[in-house]
């Protein structure tokens, strides 16, 4: 049976002073946890910002759940959530108010959104602070509020850029559990990360991006196979593939 495609990117390109993303092709299937890894400046964030409509590509196509995201960005955004590495929330709103605002932006039925918000606040351990303004929150708490905002409209596709940066072990585990729960429920998660153990443990497939191109992709075993070293860690595999691009071919 053919798996539904959650994200299909073809020939995606974006240049600033030099090419940041160069004719990138990427396919992520529905219900998949996909990790995008690569060295600093490889083009991971630029790729994802184009997918979420935050940047306009110079060339290429983006389809989210079959919707042409460049032709109909509103419909594509309706089923997508984006969480950046720097949690940008409103200091003067409480988590509860923030979630109400996000639900308003995504035009979610108020009763459904409220029930979902309460559930997320509980899952993420934010209940004692649900009605406190976010201005005094730690980075971890802010990240949790932003994650709750990304999930409150029940997106089919969640795209996260380094969501675990700066989180303590407890918060990181909560975030990972929530993401795993989303995938188990049929959602699709695409995540960039520098923490290769997380990609190794959580992702169904891993894409390695370097110089704006996807140089290798597959399950951990498939990636190992490409390097010819079957018993190595993802870190070793990653370094081999990035340092010797020929191995990725």
Partner 1 sequence: MSSPATITWLAEHELRLGWRDWLSMMTAGRRSRARTVAIALVVFAVFMHLLAWSMVGGYAETPAGAGKETLVAVSGMLLLSWSLLMSQAMESVTRAFYTRSDLDLILTSPVPQRRVFSVRIARIAISVAAVAVFLASPFINMLALLGGARWLAAYGVVAAMGLVAAALSVALTVGLFRLIGPKRTRLIAQIVAAVIGAMFVIGLQVVAILSYGSLSRFAPLQSHWLIVHAPDIGSAVWLPARATLGDWSALLVVAAASIAALMASIAIFSRRFGEHVVAAAGVSQGKVRQRAAHGFRRVSAALALRRKERTLLLRDPWLVSQSLMQILYLLPPALLLWRSFHEGAGGFVLLVPVLVMAAGQLGGGLAWLSISGEDAPDLIASAPISARRVIWAKIEAVMETIAMVFAPFVVALAFASPRAAVVAGLGVLVAAAASTAVQLCFRTQARRSQFRRRQVSSRIATFAEAFSSIAWAATAALAAVGAWLAALPAVIAIGILAGVRLLKPPQAA
Binding residues for partner 1 (CB under 8 A): 52-54, 74-75, 77-78, 80-82, 84, 88-94, 96-97, 99-107, 109-111, 113-114, 117, 129-133, 135-136, 149
CB of 1 to partner 1, least distance (A): 30
Judged by CB, which is closer to partner 1: 33, or 96? 96
* Pairwise CA distance, residues 139 & 150, whole Å: 16
Kindly tell me the burial class for residue 53, based on how many C-beta atoms sit within 10 Å of its own C-beta (0-12, 13-18, 19 or more): middle
Please give the backbone phi and psi of residue 183, each rounded to the nearest 5 degrees, phi first: -65, -40
Q: How far apart are CB 71 and partner 1 at their closest, in Å?
A: 13
* Nearest to partner 1 of 112, 184 (CB atom): 112
Q: Which is nearer to partner 1, 78 or 232 (CB)?
A: 78
CB of 149 to partner 1, least distance (A): 7
Nearest approach, Cβ of residue 43 and partner 1 (Å): 18
* Contacts for 32 with CB less than 8 Å, ≥ 6 apart: 6, 183, 188, 189, 204, 205
Q: Which is nearer to partner 1, 94 or 192 (CB)?
A: 94
Q: What is the closest distance, in whole angstroms, from the C-beta atom of residue 136 to partner 1 in the complex? A: 4
Strands 33-37, 205-210: pairing is parallel
CA distances for 60 relative to 21, 24, 26, 34, 135, angstroms = 10, 8, 11, 21, 40
**Which CB atom, from 133 or from 239, has the smaller least distance to partner 1?**
133
């Amino acid at each position: 049976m053919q798996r539904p495609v959650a994200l299909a990117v073809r020939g995606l390109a974006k240049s600033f002073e030099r090419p940041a993303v160069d004719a990138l092709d990427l396919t992520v299937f529905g219900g998949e946890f996909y990790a995008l890894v690569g060295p600093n400046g490889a083009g991971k964030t630029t790729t994802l910002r184009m997918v979420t409509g935050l940047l306009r590509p110079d060339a290429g196509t983006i389809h989210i759940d079959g919707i042409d995201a460049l032709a109909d960005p509103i419909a594509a955004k309706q089923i997508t959530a984006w969480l950046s590495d720097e949690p940008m929330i409103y200091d003067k709103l409480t988590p509860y108010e923030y979630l109400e605002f996000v639900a308003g932006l995504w035009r979610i039925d108020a009763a459904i959104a409220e029930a979902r918000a309460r559930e997320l606040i509980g899952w993420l351990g934010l209940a004692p602070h649900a009605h406190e303004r976010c201005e005094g929150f730690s980075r971890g708490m802010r990240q949790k509020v932003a994650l709750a905002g990304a999930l409150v409209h029940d997106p089919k596709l969640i795209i996260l850029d380094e969501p675990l940066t700066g989180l303590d072990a407890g918060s990181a585990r909560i975030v990972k559990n929530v993401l795993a729960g989303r995938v188990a429920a049929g959602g699709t998660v695409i995540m960039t990360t520098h923490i290769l153990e997380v990609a190794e443990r959580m992702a169904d497939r891993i894409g390695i991006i370097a110089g704006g191109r996807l140089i290798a992709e597959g399950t951990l075993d498939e990636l190992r196979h490409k390097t010819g070293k079957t018993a190595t860690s993802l870190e070793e595999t990653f370094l081999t593939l990035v340092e010797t691009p020929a191995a990725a071919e």
